[in-house]
Structure 1
Amino acid sequence: MNTKAFLEPMGSWAWWRSWFLIFFGCAVMGTGFVLFINPYNFVPGGVYGLGIVFHNIFPSVQVGTFGYMFDVPLMIIAMLIFGGQFGTRTVLAALFTPGYMNILTRLVYPDAAAVESLDPALLLGGRLDLSNDLLLTCVIGAVVIGVGQGIVVRQQATTGGTDIVAMLLQKFAGIKFSTGILLADGSVVLSGLVVIGFGIGTAEAEPAGWMLTLYSLITIYITSRVIAYMLDGASYDKLLFIITDKHQELRQFILEDLERSATYLKGKGMYTEAMKDVIFLVVSRREVRLVEQKIRSIDPRAFVVVTDAYDTYGEGFKPLPDADTIQAE
């Protein structure tokens, strides 16, 4: 393991903040599994979803322990492919999360028998039993897990498992990170349907097991959307194409009031064949209404097109991503 990450200056706030966020994100994700996923036999993909499947076959082994079993080879791959520092972050995150889940599980259940059964009626003394509203439960669990994973991935680490598979798909196959998670987790969900839904390998099938598979798919989709939200942000910038005869007033507004710049594009009217200057301007979603109102006050007859700018890089916006930066989309 490369120890470079541990040799950074101890006073570096960015270094401490990054590691705090990694462990905090892992804790958030682990809490989502223990409180909202594991007790209801949802199988939302990943090594912990696979751990839920195997826990139904071997109930004496905790879900987090299976996480260790599945994560080790994937962590080795991550270290070999993505480098030493990335491997260090992945190893520590992946080692912390299953242990945290095991400890939290023992804390929220009254005894060892309850830990084996994972009966939601025994969870926190029955105070968090959501068995009668499984749709709400899977939505809450998906959001909590997605937030936790998103926090970790923003620090250029992963919680292990199918995160690594998705990153490999992005690196070598050009598949979106969130889409890669969906693909990798699909096989895990199918295994849950076979074991939990049909009862293969267990004493008996779970009643309405196919419904649990449906909830698992909902959980996976919502989790992937939350991860995309965490990585790319809640909203897109706005791209404006503006044709007006009052360029000077609008130019002054853009440069001085918005403190932005814009670009003049040359255009030619199809009907008049007159040459026009088209202003190419990118603003945040919050600023677009202000710009529209200003254009109306300067030139009510201006022609304006507003569209989404999915990603905007450069001064005043996001920096261009590095080659190994994780992209949700």
Structure 2
Amino acid sequence: MDTKTLSMLEPMGSWAWWRSWVLIIVGCSIMGAGFVLFINPYNFVPGGVYGLGIVLHNIFPSIQVGTFGYMFDVPLMLVALLVFGGQFGARTVVAALYTPGFMNVLTRLVYPDAAAVESLDPALLLGGRLDLSNDLLLTCLMAAVLVGVGQGMVVRQQATTGGTDIVGMLLQKYFGIKFSTGIFLADGAVVLSGLVVIGFGLGTGDAAPAGWMLTLYSLITIYASSRVVAYMLDGASYDKLLFIISDNHDELKRFIIEDLDRSATYIRSRGMYTGTSRDMIFLVVSRKEVHQVQHKIKEIDPRAFVVVTDAYDTFGEGFKPLPDKDAMQAE
């Protein structure tokens, strides 16, 4: 490789490195904002170390939720460093240390005084301009989107915000459990602790009205955020799979190769009723190309038999690259 090629690759590699770190910081900030604005004030307990921090904040209101995050994240970061390696550990350390600190700073900015920071009263949040106490379902869905997007951005960079992210990755690595499912299971114990402390008042002596409803909203938040994480990691399944049986293969072949700029596969098949052997075309296209293919088939052979179904994941040339061995996959 000549020096000119090397000089071109060097800034590209440097940009990828900076881009990865910027995405981690942005993802952590989005996730932290979701907690501060839409979760902490309403006593949702959506699992994780910050959910556990919300539970403990109800018992020790002088300690902020982010501070509890530091208390639990440090040992989990050490585990991540040992299991996933130095580079992953470094990213985890930065993400896990930045997120609770950002949450503490943002909390002080959106509440008027120290007493409001302790109470986390949504009526005092941004001077009451963001009080959604009467729209808790909307609140938990907004929280799920922000937390899921932020968490997904961080994990796509092969990092983690700490807490049950690490638990989910460990379950995927050693037990083959989906990443999002692992988080969902790990968060269950935290949600139950929220029901006991916030709902039933154990440790606080002050049970929240309809505390079990807060647990329900917490579960909705967990599930919705796990779906957002799954989308962020794996993307939406927009590919379509077509099985085509026709007597005009030459025209269809020209259309697929020249117009669609794709390839397809012939599968030898035999009709059950007639016993006639013929070739069936196996074709994968994007969702937006389906109607184009259908119209062309109708033009070429109106009597063709066509089956269209979803292709959950499509890997290879023209589609997604095959995932690396250690890449995080939500499904």
So what's the TM-score if we normalise by structure 2? 0.95
Using the alignment, how far apart are the partners of 1:239 and 1:89 within structure 2? Answer: 39
Specify which of 161, 167, 183 is matched with residue 165 of structure 1.
Answer: 167
1:175-324 pair list within 5 angstroms: 175-324=177-326
Q: More deviation in 152-161 or 118-127?
A: 152-161
Q: 1:49 to 1:281 in 2, by over 3 A?
A: same
Q: What does the per-residue CA deviation read over 1:20-51, in whole Å, with 9 as the maximum and x for residues that have no partner? A: 11110000000000000000000000110000
Q: Is the 8 A contact 1:235 1:285 kept in 2?
A: no
Using the alignment, how far apart are the partners of 2:237 and 2:328 within structure 1? Answer: 18
Q: 1:9 to 1:195 in 2, by over 3 A?
A: farther
Structure 1 segments unaligned to the other structure (5+ residues)? 1-7
Task: Give the drift of 1:285.
Answer: 1.2
Q: What does the per-residue CA deviation read over 1:156-178, in whole Å, with 9 as the maximum and x for residues that have no partner? A: 11111101101111111111111
Aligned to 1:27: 29
**SS at 2:39's partner residue?**
helix
Using the alignment, how far apart are the partners of 2:193 and 2:206 within structure 1? Answer: 15
Percent sequence identity over matched residues? 80
**Which amino acid in structure 2 is aligned with residue 82 of structure 1?**
F
Q: What does the per-residue CA deviation read over 1:35-77, in whole Å, with 9 as the maximum and x for residues that have no partner? A: 0000000000011000000000110000000001111111111
Task: Give the drift of 1:10.
Answer: 6.7
Task: Give the drift of 1:235.
Answer: 2.8
**SS at 1:124's partner residue?**
helix
Specify which of 135, 138, 149 is matched with residue 137 of structure 2.
Answer: 135
Specify which of 16, 23, 28 is matched with residue 14 of structure 1.
Answer: 16
Cα-Cα RMSD: 1.2
Q: What does the per-residue CA deviation read over 1:70-120, in whole Å, with 9 as the maximum and x for residues that have no partner? A: 111111111111111111111111111000000000000001110000000
**Which amino acid in structure 2 is aligned with residue 160 of structure 1?**
G
**SS at 1:159's partner residue?**
coil
Aligned to 1:103: 105
Q: What does the per-residue CA deviation read over 1:199-233, in whole Å, with 9 as the maximum and x for residues that have no partner? A: 11113111111110000000001000111111111
Q: More deviation in 33-42 or 77-86?
A: 77-86
Using the alignment, how far apart are the partners of 2:91 and 2:260 within structure 1? Answer: 40
**Which amino acid in structure 1 is aligned with residue 112 of structure 2?**
P
Q: Is the 8 A contact 2:242 2:308 kept in 1?
A: yes
Q: 1:140 to 1:77 in 2, by over 3 A?
A: same
Using the alignment, how far apart are the partners of 1:140 and 1:275 within structure 2? Answer: 55
Task: Give the drift of 1:287.
Answer: 1.2
Q: Is the 8 A contact 2:237 2:311 kept in 1?
A: no
**SS at 1:81's partner residue?**
helix
Task: Give the drift of 1:154.
Answer: 1.2
**Which amino acid in structure 1 is aligned with residue 44 of structure 2?**
F
Using the alignment, how far apart are the partners of 1:164 and 1:10 within structure 2? Answer: 32
Q: 1:9 to 1:105 in 2, by over 3 A?
A: farther
Q: Is the 8 A contact 2:237 2:310 kept in 1?
A: no
Specify which of 74, 77, 83 is matched with residue 76 of structure 2.
Answer: 74
Q: Which runs of 4+ in 1 moved over 2 A?
A: 8-11
Aligned to 1:37: 39
- Say yes or no: does 1:48 pair with 2:14: no
**SS at 1:254's partner residue?**
helix
Q: Is the 8 A contact 2:239 2:285 kept in 1?
A: yes
Aligned to 1:116: 118
**Which amino acid in structure 2 is aligned with residue 197 of structure 1?**
G
Using the alignment, how far apart are the partners of 1:9 and 1:131 within structure 2? Answer: 52
So what's the TM-score if we normalise by structure 1? 0.96
Using the alignment, how far apart are the partners of 2:151 and 2:97 within structure 1? Answer: 15
**Which amino acid in structure 2 is aligned with residue 274 of structure 1?**
T
**Which amino acid in structure 2 is aligned with residue 295 of structure 1?**
I
Aligned to 2:150: 148
Task: Give the drift of 1:9.
Answer: 5.7
**Which amino acid in structure 1 is aligned with residue 124 of structure 2?**
L
Structure 2 segments unaligned to the other structure (5+ residues)? 1-8
- Say yes or no: does 1:84 pair with 2:101: no
Using the alignment, how far apart are the partners of 2:131 and 2:112 within structure 1? Answer: 14
Using the alignment, how far apart are the partners of 1:203 and 1:76 within structure 2? Answer: 36
Using the alignment, how far apart are the partners of 1:203 and 1:116 within structure 2? Answer: 17
